[in-house]
Amino acid sequence: DWTMAAYRDEAVAAIRAKVGDARVVCGLSGGVDSAVTAVLVHEAIGERLTCVFVDTGMMREGEADEVVGLFRDHHNIPLIHADEGPRFLAALDGVTDPEQKRKTIGKIFIDVFQEHAESIGKVKFLAQGTLYPDVIESVSVTGGPSVTIKSHHNVGGLPERMNLGLVEPLRALFKDEVRALGRELGLPERFVGRHPFPGPGLAIRCPGEITAEKLAILRRADAVYLEEIRNAGLYDEIWQAFAALLPVRSVGVMGDGRSYDYVLALRAVTSVDGMTADYYPFEHDFLGRVAGRIINEVRGVNRVVYDVTSKPPGTIEWE
Ligand code: XMP
């Protein structure tokens, strides 16, 4: 892509000019935006970039290994893997309110990030994958009271706390352009074409109390669902697809006996920007196959339902 090749060169030059010989830290989330930011900044300043991957333990199956494998091993980018799952889980003990989950995770996230960023030494800049729509959203003051439906966390507040400048090489781009730039930089398609994933991760796909056992069930069921979506060739038609483990048990039959296990909800939506969304009209055969596999293969789930709510009035996530 000619445009993206030119953009890449300009962005690399701009990063070098801004950063000089200072050190930069970048938080990796497993998402496309932070991945493209990291590879671009690494191209500009090499080893003076260190990435910090705060592993909340709320990631999907195989995701943490994938992130570490791609950046540390494939791209050779210095990477700190802050494997803090137990710390997040302990802090979430007894927390059931969705906003409280976000705040709890957001706070620890920043603490962990700061601890590691400070351990690098001489860091003067924070690189982040802010996109154009984020820029517009944060400056569009219409005068009326704004209603926050869900608070999103990032490393907000950290630049001030650590006195860091910002490097935001994607500020002029939309999501599809970020994906094109990612391809230009040689990021694998599987990474570049990924569905968005929320910062609080599986914590907000597990309504009610979060336990290690529930997370394990959800993680496995979600992986089976996504595998079927990929096998059916539907992944790229869908904006986001995931499973949510409901805090409800239902009765079923298993062999000669009775089962009493969790209900799993499947969600898949199409969308352009996440602001509005339609539920995805899967064939019934497909849904039946996924339900059959999950109930057979994932212990702890004996009933699967499909969410047919569009946004609005629903939201994409369950919490
Ligand atoms: P909702 O559920 O509000 O989601 O319709 C819209 C988009 O935002 C994502 N989302 C989040 N992303 N932190 C994030 O980084 C969050 O707390 C959060 N909540 C929702 C959601 O996955 C969808 O893409």
pLDDT in tens, 234-271: 999 999 999 999 999 999 998 899 999 999 999 999 99
Q: How far is the CA of 319 from the centre of ligand 1 (A)?
A: 9
Q: State both tokens at 250.
A: 């239902």
> Is the pLDDT confidence value at 152 over 50?
yes
Confidence of residue 174 (pLDDT cuts 50, 70, 90): very high
The CATH number of the domain where 86 resides is what?
3.40.50.620
pTM of the model: 0.92
Please work out whether the CB of residue 76 comes within 6 Å of at least one atom of ligand 1.
no
The CATH number of the domain where 255 resides is what?
3.30.300.10
Q: How far is the CA of 1 from the centre of ligand 1 (A)?
A: 30
Q: What is the pLDDT of residues 114-131, one digit of tens each?
A: 999 999 989 999 999 999
- Report how far residue 223's alpha carbon sits from residue 115's, in angstroms, rounded to the nearest whole number: 32
**Structural domain containing residue 282:** 206-306
Question: Poorest-confidence range of 58-62, 74-78, 107-111, 135-139?
Answer: 135-139
Nearest CA to ligand 1 atom 20: 198
pLDDT at site 232: 98
Nearest CA to ligand 1 atom 16: 152
Examine residue 199 and state whether it is found in any structural domain, yes or no: no
Q: What is the pLDDT of residues 212-243, one digit of tens each?
A: 999 999 999 999 999 999 999 999 999 999 99
DSSP run (H or E) holding 3: helix 2-19
User: Are 112 and 135 part of one and the same domain?
Assistant: yes
Please work out whether the CB of residue 102 comes within 6 Å of at least one atom of ligand 1.
yes
pLDDT at site 158: 85
User: Are 111 and 245 part of one and the same domain?
Assistant: no
User: Are 139 and 217 part of one and the same domain?
Assistant: no
Q: How many residues does the chain have?
A: 319
Query: What's the chain's average pLDDT?
Result: 93
Mean pLDDT to the nearest integer, 145-151 = 65
Helix axes 32-45, 175-184, angle to 10 degrees: 40
pLDDT at site 139: 61
Examine residue 241 and state whether it is found in any structural domain, yes or no: yes
> Is the pLDDT confidence value at 62 over 80?
yes
Q: List the one residue out of 182, 73, 95, 85 whose CA is nearest residue 131.
A: 182
pLDDT at site 143: 47
- Label the pairing between strands 165-167 and 123-127: parallel
Q: How far is the CA of 90 from the centre of ligand 1 (A)?
A: 23
Q: CB–CB of 34/64 below 8 Å?
A: no
Residue type, 277: A
Please work out whether the CB of residue 199 comes within 6 Å of at least one atom of ligand 1.
yes
Confidence of residue 136 (pLDDT cuts 50, 70, 90): confident
Please work out whether the CB of residue 203 comes within 6 Å of at least one atom of ligand 1.
no
User: Are 184 and 224 part of one and the same domain?
Assistant: no
Q: CB count, 10 Å around CB of 305? A: 14
Annotated binding site for ATP: 29-35
The number of the ligand 1 atom at minimal distance from the alpha carbon of 196 is: 24
SS3 (DSSP) at 4: helix
Please work out whether the CB of residue 85 comes within 6 Å of at least one atom of ligand 1.
no
pLDDT at site 207: 98
Please work out whether the CB of residue 312 comes within 6 Å of at least one atom of ligand 1.
no
Examine residue 316 and state whether it is found in any structural domain, yes or no: no
pLDDT at site 147: 61
Please work out whether the CB of residue 64 comes within 6 Å of at least one atom of ligand 1.
no
Tell me the DSSP string of 107-164: HHHHHHHHHHHHHH-SEEEEE----HHHHHHHH---SSPPP-SS---SSTTHHHHHT-
Examine residue 315 and state whether it is found in any structural domain, yes or no: no
User: Are 293 and 228 part of one and the same domain?
Assistant: yes
Q: How far is the CA of 276 from the centre of ligand 1 (A)?
A: 12
Mean pLDDT to the nearest integer, 262-290 = 97
Q: What does residue 140 show for φ and ψ, rounded to 5 degrees?
A: -85, 85
Examine residue 317 and state whether it is found in any structural domain, yes or no: no
Q: State both tokens at 139.
A: 């400056």
Q: CB–CB of 31/201 below 8 Å?
A: no
Q: What is the pLDDT of residues 179-215, one digit of tens each?
A: 999 999 999 998 899 999 999 999 999 999 999 999 9
Q: State both tokens at 255.
A: 């062999």
Nearest CA to ligand 1 atom 17: 152
Q: Number of structural domains, the chain?
A: 2
Q: How far out from the chain centre does Cα 159 lie?
A: 21
In order of 24, 205, 283, 313, the CA distances from 7 in angstroms are 21, 37, 41, 39
pLDDT at site 138: 66
User: Are 103 and 238 part of one and the same domain?
Assistant: no
